[in-house]
Each structure stands twice: as structure tokens, then as C-alpha cells.
Amino acid sequence: MSRLPTRLIRVAPHQPQPAAIERAAAILRAGGLVAFPTETVYGLGANALDARAVRKIFTAKGRPDWDPLIVHVTGTVMAKTLANRLPPQFPKLARAFWPGPLTLVVEKSACVPDEVTAGRPTVALRMPRHAVARALLASANLPIAAPSANRFGRPSPTRAAHVRDDLDGRVDLILDAGPTEMGVESTVLDLTQTPPAILRPGGVSREKLARILGDVTLAPGVADQRAKAGLSSPGMTLRHYSPRARVELVDSIPLARKRAALLRSRGRRVGVLLGSTDMGRYAHELFDRLRRFDAAGVAVIVCVLPSGKGLGWAVRDRLQRAAGLSK
């Protein structure tokens, strides 16, 4: 892996320049790594059918090799080539939420390397909505394995600068299309269980899934953030992002203000995340704000925990992880 500074190319988020996309696609075809935007967070991509290329993702991120990757696809036709058998809910869900922030775990086909799935018999598939991700998939005409493009243990990157801060010299190219829209990762839904189980709350809410599925359950680690055993999504067992600062969670803006004032009166450097009644905005800003607090070296981050409705559930989940409640 080269440790020269990584090249970053700016692309228009809605109509990316074909030359930039073609260049990135050529890197993927040659077994290299490209960081690219999706509507959730930036991903660190490699050709999902090339085991050697996929191994580079783990090295670049410092990710443990037992944590499987999401494979990004151009659509259901490509998805079918990677799956053994698609369960009956699959077409309904794909019609309702693809392209978009929903990842579906299904039985894998033989062409998916063990490196991608960490030796599991299942593969996680997602068709992203971002125009740059879609153009890259179409141009490469390959399934792209891509975890979030952060170093292991850091918040997911929602801007190209976050990717560069974490992975400079460890990735061949970064496509910079500005801040990502959603700011939290996709919902991961396991379709190999009956009823389907949410392994990670994310961009598609539980309410919306229930409308299509009727019945949807929560994997143990999601149902109880403090549960330590029996998790079926390996990534959820991890000490995920935890800042150097202590993270304190409170239920309202007045409580956050009061707590921050008290800590400041004791001479502590405090960061405050008040959130927003607009949950889309809270999610959009979340990881950037946490990264900024880390960079500023605050001692305590006081965060308002939103209600668990809609996108608020995913924001709650990420804040609870940052606070170490799921460790």
C-alpha cells in the first residue's frame, strides 16, 4: 500500500463528471481502493469479487477480519448473482426502499469470497441512492464491497475531509462530493431469520419497515443496547466509536444546558450537542460534530438523546454507542 498522500477529486454530487468516475472505476477493476460518497456516509470500496482487493480494505481501516462487509450493487439483477436464494420479502423491500439506506442480509452465492462475509454463509446487500455511488457501480459494472471509510473505532465519515483525516495514504482515490445527506449508516435487516430482524437501526426506520413487512423483530443487541451476548451482526458487538471525551446523555435541551453550565463552572471543557427537532438535521450533523469535539480536545460531551421514533432511533443508537452503553 502506498503511503503517498491520497489523491482527492471533487465531483458534482448530482451529476458526477464521467472522467472522474471512469478513473475511479479503473482503480476498482485493477484491485485498488476508492472512497466514495453514498447518501448515508462515505464508503471505502473494493471489487467485492476480488479477495485480495477486499483484504486491502481491512488493512487500510485496521478492521478485524471477523467483521463482514456490505456489498453495494447496481440493483436487484446484480443482487441475484450474489445470493443463493432470495426470500419472498426481498422484492417487496427492494421495490420500496432501493435505491436507499437499507441493507439486506441474505444467503450468499459461491461467487462471494469469504473475505467479504468473514466466512459466514450470508451476504449483506445494498443499492445506494447517491448519484456518485450509482455512477461508480455502473461504470465499474462490479459489486463493490464497502464499509464506512473511517479508521476502526472512529465515527463514520460524512465528508471527504473525514476520510482523508483517517485514511490518507491508505486509499488510492477519494471522490469528494461534499457532505453526505443522511449522516447515519443504512439499516441492516436480516432476511435469513423469520420474521426478519433489524441488526442495526439506520436510515430506513423501523416504522417504515413494519409497513411493508408487517412483522419485524430486533436482534438482541439492538433491542437492548446493553445486551452483551447473542448478537447476530458482528459489527454491533464492538466498542464502536468512542471519543476520548466522556459522553453524557440527557433527555432534554434544558437539562443539557444546566449540566454543561455546572461542568463549566468546575473548569471542564464541555461540548454540547443539543440536537434538533428536525431529526434529519441531527443525523446529518452528528458525526461531524463528534469529530470536531474530538479535535478540540473537550473533556465531556453532553448530548440530548432524541426520542426513538423514525430516524431518532438510529441517532439514539449511535449516541449510546459513543457513550459506551453498548460496550
Return the number of the residue (148 or 158) whose C-beta is nearest Mg ion: 148
282-189-206-216 Cα dihedral, nearest 10 degrees: -160
For the segment 74-113, give every residue that binds ligand TXA (CB under 6 A). Answer: 101, 103, 105
What letter represents residue 295's amino acid? A
Q: Applying CB under 5 A, does 158 fall inside the site for Mg ion?
A: no
Burial of 209 (0-12, 13-18, 19+ CB in 10 A): buried
Return the number of the residue (124 or 173) whose C-beta is nearest Mg ion: 124
Distances (CA, A) of 311 to 43, 126, 249, 267: 20, 18, 18, 35
Cell numbers found for residue 315: 441517532
Closest CA relative to residue 150, chosen from 138, 165, 132, 137: 165
* Residue 47 interface partner, choices Mg ion, ligand TXA, none, CB cut-off 5-8 Å depending on type: none
* Residue 146 interface partner, choices ligand TXA, Mg ion, none, CB cut-off 5-8 Å depending on type: ligand TXA
Distances (CA, A) of 168 to 61, 76, 172: 11, 34, 9
Binding residue (CB under 6 A) for ligand TXA from 74, 122, 139, 205: 122
Q: Applying CB under 6 A, does 43 fall inside the site for ligand TXA?
A: yes
Does residue 316 sit in helix, strand or coil?
Answer: helix
Task: Compute how many residues bind Mg ion; rule: CB under 5 A.
Answer: 1
Contact between residue 191 and residue 84 where contact means Cβ atoms under 8 Å apart: no
- Strands of 122-126's sheet in order across: 7-10, 173-176, 34-37, 42-47, 144-145, 70-72, 122-126, 102-107, 187-190, 197-200, 217-218
Return the number of the residue (89 or 148) whose C-beta is nearest Mg ion: 148
Distance between the two ends of the chain, CA-based, in angstroms?
32
Binding residue (CB under 6 A) for ligand TXA from 50, 185, 288, 317: 185
For the segment 256-295, give every residue that binds ligand TXA (CB under 6 A). Answer: none
For the segment 144-163, give every residue that binds ligand TXA (CB under 6 A). Answer: 146-148
Return the number of the residue (224 or 251) whose C-beta is nearest ligand TXA: 224
CB of residue 194 to ligand TXA, shortest distance in Å: 16
Give the whole-angstrom CA distance, residue 266 versus residue 192. Answer: 52
Q: Applying CB under 6 A, does 205 fall inside the site for ligand TXA?
A: no
Give the whole-angstrom CA distance, residue 129 versus residue 139. Answer: 15
Q: Applying CB under 5 A, does 122 fall inside the site for Mg ion?
A: no
* Residue 105 interface partner, choices ligand TXA, Mg ion, none, CB cut-off 5-8 Å depending on type: ligand TXA
* Residue 89 interface partner, choices Mg ion, ligand TXA, none, CB cut-off 5-8 Å depending on type: none
Q: Which stretch binds Mg ion (CB under 5 A): 119-127, 146-154, 215-223, 252-260?
A: 146-154
Return the number of the residue (132 or 263) whose C-beta is nearest ligand TXA: 132
Q: Applying CB under 6 A, does 236 fall inside the site for ligand TXA?
A: yes
Binding residue (CB under 5 A) for Mg ion from 148, 205, 320, 326: 148
CB of residue 147 to Mg ion, shortest distance in Å: 5
Binding residue (CB under 6 A) for ligand TXA from 57, 70, 94, 173: 70
What letter represents residue 321's amino acid? R
Task: Compute how many residues bind ligand TXA; rule: CB under 6 A.
Answer: 29
**Cis peptide before 99, with omega less than 30 degrees from 0?**
yes
Contact between residue 121 and residue 223 where contact means Cβ atoms under 8 Å apart: no
Distances (CA, A) of 126 to 10, 82, 187, 240: 24, 11, 10, 22
Q: Which residues of this protein are in contact with Mg ion, per CB under 5 A?
A: 148
Q: Which residues of this protein are in contact with ligand TXA, per CB under 6 A?
A: 38, 40-41, 43, 67-70, 101, 103, 105, 117, 120, 122-124, 126, 146-148, 185-186, 188, 199-200, 233-236
